Structures are given as C-alpha cells and as structure tokens.
Amino acid sequence: MQQNRSQVTERDGLFELEAGSDVLDSPRYNHDMAPTKVRERTWNKWHITALWVGMSICVPTYTLGGVLTAYFGLTVGEALLAILFANVIVLIPLTLNAFPGTKYGIPFPVLLRSSFGILGSNLPCLIRALVACGWFGIQTMFGGLAIHLFLGSVFDGWKSLGGTGEVIGFMVFWALNLWVVIRGAESIKWLETLSAPLLVAVGIGLLVWAMPNVSMTELLAIPPKRPEGASVVSYFAAGLTAMVGFWATLSLNIPDFSRYARSQKDQILGQIFGLPLTMFLFAALGVVMTAASVKLVGVSVSDPVTLIGHIQSPVWVAVAMALIIIATLSTNTAANIVSPTNDFQNIAPKVINRTKAVILTGFVGLALMGHELLKKLGLIVSDVSLETVYSNWLLGYSSLLGPIAGIMVVDYFLIKKQQLDLAGLYRDDVYPAWNWAGFIAFGVPVVLTLLSLGSSAFSWFYSYGWFTGSALGGLIYYGLCAMRATPSVVKSPV
C-alpha cells in the first residue's frame, strides 16, 4: 500500500527519498526529476573524469586559442595561460554546486527551487536552457559537417552535394544526439567512458602530424593584436572572463551529473582530474594545428573538421571523421542536451517527461541554427557567420549567468547550511512559490553589467562580468536573506 507521507533516509552522507502520495501526486514531481536512489549513484571518479574529457575535447575548445588571439588581443602564451587559469577558477563553483546534487540526488532545476522558489525556478532554468540549445545547435553543425566529410570520403558522389550534404549530415547527427539522451544517464556514462581514451588518442595523433611543421619558438613570439604599449591586464581579464564563461553554464547545472556520483570525493576528484588539464592541452593543440595548417594543407584552417577534410587519403579522412563524430557526440549529449531537458521538464513535470523535453530541446536548437542551415542550402545570403555567433553572443551571454552561480552557492552553504527539505522541494507547502530575494540578487548585477556597456568608466564591470556578477549576486542574496531572518535549516516533516 502506498504511504501517504514521504520519508527521507540517509546512508553514509547520501540522502534518499521514499516518495509518498504527498510527493507522487504533486504537480512538481515526475519520475525523471525524482532524486536518484543511492543504488543509482554509480559514477566513480573515473566516470566523472571521462565525462569531462568527453565534454572538453570538442571543436569549440580547439578554437579557443584562436578566439583569444584574434578577438581579445592576447599572445599565444597569454591565451593558453588564460584558458588554464579560467578552468582552475571555474572548478570552484563547479565543485561547490555539485555538492547538493551528490548529497540529495537532485537535478539542477529542483535545487534552484530552494533559492528562486518552486515556480520562480523556471525563469533561471529557461535562461540556462536557451544558451544550452544554442551550443547544441553549434556542436550539431560541426558534427553534421564531420558526417558529410565522412560520407564524402566513402562515396565519391556525396561530395557534389555540397551544402545540401552538410544539412543532411546535420539532421542525421541531430537525431543521433536525441536518441542517446532519450536512452538515459547510463547511456551517456557508457558513451563518455568509451570516447575518452579515443579522444585522447586523436589529440596525440594530430599533434604528431603537426609538430614537424611548426616552430613553437616562432609561434610563442608572434606579437599580440592589440595597440602597441597597451597594458596586458585589461585584455587578459576580458579573455579570462570569456573563458570562464565557456563552462559557466555547467557550473550551474552540474547537479544534473553529480546526482549520479557515488560520493563527494568522487565528484571532486573526477572534476579536478578531468577538466583543467584537458581543456588546456586540447586548446594548445588547436593553436599548434592552426599554425601548422598552412604547411600541412596550404591554407590557414582554424577548426579540425575542415583541416582533416583537406587530407588527400580517403581512408584517413574516414577514420578521423568517425572519431570527430564520437567526440562531438560525447560533448553535445552531456553538455548541451541534459540541462535543457531537465529545465523544460521543470515547467510542468506531469505534462513534460524526458522524451518530450529532449525533443523540445532538439527543435529549439534546430530553430536557432535555421539561419545557418538556410545559408548552406543556398536559400538565403548573409554575412553573419557561425563563428560570430559563437565568439560574441554565446560567450557574452554565458558570462551573465554568474549571479545565478553565486546565489546557488550562498543559498546552499550559508543560508541553508547544506540542509534541504528533500520532499519539500517537490511540493508547494515548504518553499515559497517565488523567492524574490533570488530575483533581486540576480537582476541587479545583470542590469549593472548591461549598463556598463555604455560607460567607459564602468567598462571593467563588463570585462570582469562573470566575477563581478557572481560575487555581487551572492552578496546581495545573503544580505536580503539576513534582513528577513530566513531560517538556516529547513527541517523535513516526518
């Protein structure tokens, strides 16, 4: 017989919910959003390391060095340092926001109900979902190009399709991504664990191919593209903020993955092992490969898919493209589909299940890439490039998410003292529908960041956008909660 009242039990610091009718009948609950059982938390530190290797080795990471030298005026050495420092810095919110996911087994949208309210959590969720759908579309574009080049290396007639072939590749890769995520978390774990060693092998192979054709001394001596005599500090800070923004989105929804970790130690070590060094080395590889591309294929090429497509051997192109497809699939499914899938479910869990949310994510990502797809089909002509969207809108937009990260950390560690009412997060009678402290703490830094765009005196506020936003958001939230004397511990009714 079904129990009326939910029960919460604890095993070795991990909490588990035995849902009663009060939760099961709640409009805030469905099976996919439910806390993971302790027996379902099977990811050890190597699974989480593989997750980060799989997400980090991707085409956008490869191009980061070029973005920092071309758009932010840094030297190659400064660019690589900015990437390394940024990923060490972003480990802090990643690790801290992973704690409640591991302890309570809850995904990102459910955790947000504590700081933004049961209904209010939907607004930051949808903000997060939009940028994920944008990245999903961009990664799918790269994956589709890889499929097009793979088929072109196998079938001579395929190359003549041109842009149409790329669009067909996009749709095939799009469907493959959705299929993996619909199959669930274990499917993603299996994919990441399989792909990690293959991706490392691809990186080593590309490096061996490129190194005889590039001089590291000459590469590091290339002068920066900034005004002569300009201070490096402001340029480095802007580049550092953009690189922090690269994973700023994952620092929010890391509970979507840490809810499957076996322990806090596993999630901490897995992230430390998997993120900073992988990002640094693959970005460095991109810098080396771009510099070597002139000697390798006769033109400067800044992305690995196009570069490998210039190889004359169809066999090597086919092998390399197959590995690129795996690399992009492992990044896209974990980094860009899991989060919006959970975010969309949070709107109406009883109506939108995981399958419907995955399909919705797919169509939003498809819509965001509609302009680029129509260009490839020759139906429209436009000067707006995919690189412009990636370099400007997505990285800038990501930096505006800093306040949410600061609010989440302060709410869980300082306000709630790491104690949440697990059953209450799925009902309407414990946490408020709208927590206005969260919205004020989020809105003030975002408004100030946008206003600083038009003021030379406060341009630093935008340049340091993620840092200023997360710090100010956290401080305002703490101050507002202290003023209204929010209880530090919410006790579970039993």
For 10, the 3-state DSSP assignment is strand
* pLDDT, position 493: 46
The pair of three-digit structure tokens given for residue 261, joined into one six-digit string: 């970790």
For 36, the 3-state DSSP assignment is coil
Q: Which residues pair with 11 in a beta bridge?
A: 14
* pLDDT, position 59: 77
For 9, the 3-state DSSP assignment is strand
Residue pair 97/255 in contact by the 8 Å Cβ criterion: yes
String of DSSP letters for 43-56: B-HHHHHHHHHHHH
User: Measured between alpha carbons, how far is 60 from 240 in angstroms, rounded to an integer?
Assistant: 16
For 340, the 3-state DSSP assignment is helix
Long-range pairs for 457-465: beta carbons < 8 A, 24 or more residues apart:
460/234, 460/237, 463/234, 463/237, 463/238, 463/241, 464/237, 464/241, 465/241, 465/245, 465/396, 465/399, 465/400, 465/402
The pair of three-digit structure tokens given for residue 92, joined into one six-digit string: 């802090």
CA angle 424, 338, 428 (to 5 degrees): 15
Residue pair 89/244 in contact by the 8 Å Cβ criterion: yes
CA angle 105, 110, 112 (to 5 degrees): 120
CB under 8 Å to 217, separation ≥6 — which residues? none
| Mutual angle of helices 163-182 and 354-368, in 10-degree steps | 160
Could you write out the three-class secondary structure of 222-284? Answer: CCCCCCCCCCHHHHHHHHHHHHHHHHHHHHHHCHHHHCCECCHHHHHHHHHHHCHHHHHHHHH
The pair of three-digit structure tokens given for residue 399, joined into one six-digit string: 């930096």
User: Measured between alpha carbons, how far is 101 from 98 in angstroms, rounded to an integer?
Assistant: 5
| Mutual angle of helices 45-56 and 276-297, in 10-degree steps | 30
User: Measured between alpha carbons, how far is 155 from 171 in angstroms, rounded to an integer?
Assistant: 19
String of DSSP letters for 325-346: HHHHHHHIIIIIIHHHHHHHHH
The enclosing H or E element of 473 equals helix 465-483
How far apart are the two ends of the chain, measured CA to CA in Å?
18
Residues written for the chain? 494
Q: Which residues pair with 9 in a beta bridge?
A: 16
Which CA distances in Å does 273 have to 91, 103, 244? 11, 21, 18
* pLDDT, position 488: 47
pLDDT digits (tens), the chain, 494 positions: 456 889 999 998 999 999 999 999 999 999 999 999 999 999 999 999 988 988 888 777 888 887 788 778 888 888 889 999 999 999 999 999 999 999 999 999 999 999 999 999 999 999 999 888 988 988 898 889 889 988 988 888 898 898 899 999 999 999 999 998 888 777 877 887 777 787 778 778 878 877 887 788 888 887 888 888 778 888 888 888 888 877 888 899 999 999 999 999 999 999 999 999 998 988 888 888 877 777 777 777 777 777 777 777 788 778 878 878 887 888 888 888 999 999 999 999 999 999 999 999 999 999 988 888 999 898 887 776 666 665 566 556 666 788 999 999 999 999 999 999 999 999 999 999 999 999 999 999 988 887 877 777 777 777 677 888 899 999 999 999 999 864 544 554 44
- The beta strand positions in 73-164, using DSSP E, are none
- Of the candidates 386, 97, 129, 84, the residue with the CA atom closest to the CA atom of residue 243: 84
User: Measured between alpha carbons, how far is 194 from 470 in angstroms, rounded to an integer?
Assistant: 35
